[in-house]
Amino acid sequence: MKILVSGGLGYIGSHTVVELLEKDIEVVIIDNLYNAQKETHDNITKIANKPSTFIQMDATDYDGLKALCQLHHFDGIIHFAGYKAVGESVAKPLMYYYNNLLSTINLARVATEENIQKFIFSSSATVYGDGTSPFSEDMALLERTNPYGETKAMSERILSDASKANPNFNVTLLRYFNPVGAHMSGLIGEVPNGIPNNLMPYVTQVAKGIREKLSVFGNDYPTIDGTGVRDYIHVVDLAKGHVAALLSDKKGVNIYNLGTGKGTSVLELINAFMKENNLNIPYQIVDRRPGDIAISYANAEKALKELQWEAKLTIEDMVRDAWHFEKNVR
Ligand code: UFG
């Protein structure tokens, strides 16, 4: 089996490529290196001890994609490439709509033209909007609060419509909850551009002394300790979810949440990090961050039932591996 992975040197893409190679699946990676490093390809090779092909290419480049797919005859595409910063998407909506939608359209177009029958898309729990957890795949999607989330919902729609019109084009939409952690080798992980927006990379940078203290965004939510609750999932578990989706023979459009089904508050996560790594994380409580919801966690039963996939790694594994990577990187 030969698979094209767009954004395959990014955080989730790189971990997924490792899992694919470990299953002896042939991989061609494209990445424009906007938010990824070329050295990540060497580290993927080191971990898997198997080769893969890397081509620097932008997924908005239709002609490049077309030539690549005609050359390789892929069995499937896993599409990770995309801008992903919520705040930036509010400031630069056109950049987000152009890049995230055009890459999805081009890849789907080439896939249908070249009879590539499997397409897996990186979606997000953000499509559920401010609904009530646990989120199930069949829930009506609510309004998104930012262009980034909107590009995920729109891409889901575009791919679903393309599948309905092309019976051989089978689409799996994977809705990720909060991916954290890193490969246990410490060789690949999350390297945010600039000041991290997300909780875990901020925590690891405070632990390393790069940032002075963490700001906890609000402690007056209706949760166990007043701080926001999320469904954190180890990125290696998440990566394995893609392999399970790829190997499934389900046809048409299939949607799966990839989460653990368990919620953890910000303070619970900080405490787990401090305890497991024997470190102190200075923090202060500040105002809520606009656009945040109180509670987000998955109903994870569908992926277990239909893909025989479930997240196995614990919060302790997540905080340990995140810190192991942060210590190694830079
Ligand atoms: N938080 C802090 N301090 C920080 C960063 C985050 O207290 O410095 C809190 C947030 O308020 C939230 C929790 O930590 O309660 C998690 O925040 P993240 O930014 O790590 O993650 P989000 O749930 O806000 O966002 C994630 C993905 C988005 C996706 C969204 C909804 O990063 O891409 O889930 O699915 F859109």
Say if CB 61 and CB 103 are below 8 A apart.
no
Tokens of 324: 């192991």
**Quick one: pLDDT at residue 293?**
93
**Quick one: pLDDT at residue 144?**
84
Mean pLDDT of 85-111: 96
**Quick one: pLDDT at residue 330?**
65
Using the mean position of ligand 1's atoms as its centre, give its distance from the Cα of residue 279 in Å. Answer: 22
Q: Is the pLDDT of residue 120 over 90?
A: yes
Name the region of 322 (left: φ>0; alpha: ψ -120 to 50; beta: rest).
Answer: alpha
Does the Cβ of 228 fall within 6 Å of ligand 1? yes
Tokens of 290: 């606009």
* % of the chain residues with pLDDT over 90: 95
**Quick one: pLDDT at residue 270?**
98
Using the mean position of ligand 1's atoms as its centre, give its distance from the Cα of residue 230 in Å. Answer: 8
pLDDT in tens, 11-32: 999 999 999 999 999 999 999 9
Question: Ligand 1 atom 4: the closest Cα is on which residue?
Answer: 199
Backbone φ, ψ for residue 279 (5° rounding)? -135, 160
Q: CA dihedral defined by 180, 185, 188, 191, rounded to 10 degrees?
A: 60
pLDDT in tens, 29-55: 999 999 999 999 999 999 999 999 999
**Quick one: pLDDT at residue 143?**
82
Does the Cβ of 124 fall within 6 Å of ligand 1? yes
d(CA 85, CA 145): 13
Backbone φ, ψ for residue 6 (5° rounding)? -85, 140
- Reported as type and span, the H/E element at residue 18 is helix 11-22
Say if CB 261 and CB 298 are below 8 A apart.
yes
In three-state secondary structure terms, 16 is: helix
Q: Is the pLDDT of residue 314 over 70?
A: yes
Say if CB 187 and CB 323 are below 8 A apart.
no
Does the Cβ of 254 fall within 6 Å of ligand 1? no
d(CA 203, CA 199): 6
Using the mean position of ligand 1's atoms as its centre, give its distance from the Cα of residue 2 in Å. Answer: 34
The domain limits of the chain are: 2-182+232-259
Question: Ligand 1 atom 15: the closest Cα is on which residue?
Answer: 228
Which one, of 10, 20, 12, lies nearest residue 51 by Cα? 20
Mean pLDDT of 132-149: 92
Cα dihedral across residues 177, 233, 256, 43: positive or negative? positive
Q: Is the pLDDT of residue 251 over 80?
A: yes
Distance of CA 92 to the CA centre of its chain: 21
Ligand 1 binding pocket mutation candidate from 122, 284, 292, 295 (most atoms within 8 A of CB): 292
Question: Ligand 1 atom 26: the closest Cα is on which residue?
Answer: 178
Ligand 1 atom nearest 177 alpha carbon: 35
Mean pLDDT of 167-189: 97
Q: Is the pLDDT of residue 123 over 70?
A: yes
Say if CB 193 and CB 81 are below 8 A apart.
no
Does the Cβ of 197 fall within 6 Å of ligand 1? yes
**Quick one: pLDDT at residue 308?**
98
Tell me which architecture the domain covering 2-182+232-259 has in CATH: 3-Layer(aba) Sandwich (3.40)
pTM, whole model, 2 decimals?
0.97
Mean pLDDT of 161-183: 98
Residues in a beta bridge with 27: 3
For the chain, give the mean pLDDT.
Answer: 97
Does the Cβ of 178 fall within 6 Å of ligand 1? yes
**Quick one: pLDDT at residue 142?**
84
Q: Is 176 a catalytic residue?
A: no
**Quick one: pLDDT at residue 304?**
98
Question: Ligand 1 atom 11: the closest Cα is on which residue?
Answer: 217
